[in-house]
Amino acid sequence: MNPNIFILSGRISYRRLAAGLREDWRLRGQSEILEECTYMDTFDWRLFNAGTLLETVHNNKGWRLEWRAYGETSPQDGCLLLDRPRFAADIGNPAVRNRLAEVIGVRALLPLVSLRCRRRHLQLLDDEGKNLLTLQFEKDESQICERQPGNAAIPCRSDWRVRLMPMKGYEEIADAVRTRLLSAGFLNPVTRDPLLDYLAACGITPDNNRLVPVITPPDERTDTAIRKIQRLHLERMQLQEAGIRQDIDSEFLHEFRVAVRRTRAFLGQSKGVIPSRRLSRFKRDFAWLGQSSGVARDMDVHLQAVEHYRAILPSALHDGLAPIQAYLMSRRNLEYGRMRRVLDSVRYRNLCRDWNLLLMQSGSASTTLPHARQTITEFARHRIWRTFRKARRQGQRIDVDRDTAGLHRLRKTVKKLRYLTDSFHYLLPPQKLRPLIRGQKSLQEKLGQLQDHQVQKRRLEEIRLVLLSQTGVSEATATALDLLIAYLDEGNRKARRRFGKEFRQFSAADVRQRYRQLSRG
């Protein structure tokens, strides 16, 4: 039950309720206004999962944002807007923008439900005219489900809602008013936040885009368990298609590529589990898919890095970033067009169809594949141990100052190790696995920093050549490029030094012994 949201009882009106309060409190009423309100969240419900709701409100005075905790009536944050924002970066108020970005990152804000509602406020004042509590009366006139095709209209309630919105530090006033109005029979309690009623009317369940992780029985056959895991990766990949086509935000392509990488990682572990002829075909096709989406993702990463560049460059050089950003955006649009053609291609459709058909098949009781009937627990223990040993050997052979290709190979192997431990963590003792996962994450982070510095440096050098050949380079842009390339070089040197210490910890004899014990059960 929400303690501060109610339905106005029967024939009780605004005037009658105000008269009941005027006996004990000084009141100030406001005229009724018509407002358009839109609840918003990201595709993956980051605001809802953080226990908050975000609403944009438009009336004849302009736009405002209200961000409140789930179940509360008073906003925990808010600001004026010029228009409905799509990203946190579109919000002019720096404090609200930064706090929102901490929750949603680079994800787009998508409308859930839009309302036209009549609202009226009644304020309770102290002797000096200071507002202690606001009662907000609201009645919906129309409701549109923004996440249904054609923005379908949904039925409206005919009654008035009343929200008690106490000023900070005056919650006891709300308690007194609530008790008074409930005992007088003026209000009926509401059991949950109205947003859930709106979503239910749309047939939407919060978090309904989240896929349930695969939990297989420890003694399940490996071929059966691997098919279940790969079906989850396929579903996650296909879930991102519409967002990539519509270019909603960069996370759709990122999640798509993560699903492709995980699929490829498990294909690499599937010798003796999937027939070799089919395995070779799907390895080729998913490698093609990974390569086809790589440059578009690189452009997203480079564009996000521009804001970091802005923070480290002197303000006098900020204008020099404009040609760099324009080039990256132009190239990004080109690569996203290519990615959409990949998603629409016959090869992609055939890949998804044939891969799904294979994954839906049941394992044969008479299979001759050597690892197909092995239990998934035995398989997981062995493959984690084998992949760790491969990463350890690769890292020990690397000359950290010269072997860029070796560092890249090690990064891919450590990623595969992470995918294995992430997918099979429930089969292994958590107290043994946790410290190993921490070591994997830490090494992967250092290797990622090395990769980012190298890729960004190459891209900036490419941009300099392109701009020189096309439009020329202004002094501000040339200086900015020189400083950024020098900054990335220095970052690369520091990351290489940190890598040595990190790898020694990852590959230490006692860590190797823990992996060995894990493989033995």
Average pLDDT, the chain: 93
Average pLDDT over residues 354-364: 93
Average pLDDT over residues 423-452: 94
Q: How far is Cα 143 from Cα 156, in angstroms, rounded to an integer?
A: 6
| pLDDT category of residue 279 using cuts at 50, 70 and 90 | very high
- Tokens representing 105 are 């990152």
- Tokens representing 313 are 């460059």
pLDDT of residue 441: 96
Q: How much of the chain is in helix, strand and coil states, percent to nearest 5?
A: 60, 15, 25
pLDDT of residue 68: 94
Q: Do 2-202 and 375-521 have matching folds?
A: no
CATH (residue range 2-202): 2.40.320.10
Average pLDDT over residues 355-369: 90
Domain ranges of the chain: 2-202, 211-365, 375-521
pLDDT of residue 132: 94
Tell whether the model's pLDDT for residue 314 goes beyond 90. Answer: yes
| pLDDT category of residue 210 using cuts at 50, 70 and 90 | confident
| pLDDT category of residue 192 using cuts at 50, 70 and 90 | confident
Instruction: Give, in order, the Cα–Cα distances in Å from 124 to each of 129, 132, 164, 304, 454.
Output: 9, 6, 11, 47, 62
- Tokens representing 317 are 């050089």
pLDDT of residue 2: 66
| pLDDT category of residue 211 using cuts at 50, 70 and 90 | confident
Phi, psi of 163 (to 5 degrees): -110, 130
Residues 399-417 pLDDT 10s: 988 888 999 999 999 999 9
Average pLDDT over residues 174-191: 92
Residues 61-83 pLDDT 10s: 999 999 999 888 888 899 999 99
What DSSP letter does each residue of 338-388 carry, written as one string? HHHHHHTSHHHHHHHHHHHHHHHSPPPTT---TTTTSBHHHHHHHHHHHHH
Tell whether the model's pLDDT for residue 1 goes beyond 70. Answer: no
Tell whether the model's pLDDT for residue 208 goes beyond 80. Answer: no
Q: How far is Cα 376 from Cα 221, in angstroms, rounded to an integer?
A: 6
pLDDT of residue 471: 76
Topology, domain 375-521: CHAD domain (1.40.20)
From 236, 246, 237, select the one nearest 340 (Cα to Cα). 246
Count of alpha carbons within 13 Å of 80, Cβ hemisphere only? 4
Residues of the chain with pLDDT > 90, as a percent, come to 81
Residues 81-119 pLDDT 10s: 999 999 999 999 999 999 999 999 999 999 999 999 999
> Which residue carries 């949950």 as its tokens?
192
Q: What's the CATH architecture for 211-365?
A: Alpha solenoid (1.40)
CB 105 within 8 A of CB 91: no
Q: How far is Cα 148 from Cα 425, in angstroms, rounded to an integer?
A: 37
pLDDT of residue 365: 80
Q: Is the dihedral of CA 48, 253, 110, 234 positive or negative?
A: negative
